[in-house]
Structures are given as structure tokens and as C-alpha cells.
Amino acid sequence: MLERDIESRSRKRAETKGRRMMKFTSPGHAFVPDDIVLAPIPLWLQPVIARYFRFIEFKRTGAKPTEPQRREHERLRAMGFTVEVIDSVEAADRVFAEMGDRL
């Protein structure tokens, strides 16, 4: 079976289980995995996950996400993920401070 067929069928199966598969690209970093699979996060675990993982949307100062971006952010938030919209270095510093400096 071709890779694209395996991926397509897997994506459909993930969706039937309430998960999201998102294509993963990372320009400048070769050989990254193809996709990220996200499962809804239980309420009690959300603060722990947010300490180690967040989605970030960078915008120019004062700019807001587009309507399609807002919809996607809301889908991710509904699954329990934290999505940050950052439009300044100070906002990025705030997010990084919230995530802590521990390793």
C-alpha cells in the first residue's frame, strides 16, 4: 500500500476516535516526522500539558488572527490545548515564563 493511502486511512480513523492528525512541516529542519496526532486532553491534565507544549501563532504587532486561524485555534482549545497569539517579544517572554525554566 502506498504511503499516502496509509496516511489517508489513518487520518480518517484518527478522526473517528476524536483525534486530529495535522501535517507537520518544519522548514530548515530535515527529516522531521510526517504528522502530529492530537488526542483530547482531560481537564485535570491541561495545566501540565500547557507547561510543556503550546501552539503559538505569531502576528505582527497589533494584528489579529484571521477568521480561519481563529476557527482552528478554537478547535485546538476545545481539545484542551493552549493556543497563544503572540504579537511582541514581551508576549513571547510572558509565555516562556509561564512555561517555566525547569528542564
Phi then psi dihedrals of residue 11, to 5 deg: -60, -45
Spatial distance between the Cα atoms of 63 and 87, rounded to a whole number of angstroms: 7
Residues near 62 by Cβ (< 8 Å), separated by ≥ 6?
87
Chain position carrying cell 517579544: 89
**Looking at the whole model, is its pTM more than 0.85?**
yes
pLDDT digits (tens, 9 = 90+) for 7-54: 999 999 999 999 999 999 999 999 999 999 999 999 999 999 999 999
pLDDT digits (tens, 9 = 90+) for 22-33: 999 999 999 999
Render 12-77 in DSSP notation, one character per residue. Answer: HHHHHTT-EEEE---TT-TT--SEEEE-PPPGGGHHHHHHH--EEEE--TT----HHHHHHHHHHH
Phi then psi dihedrals of residue 17, to 5 deg: -100, 10
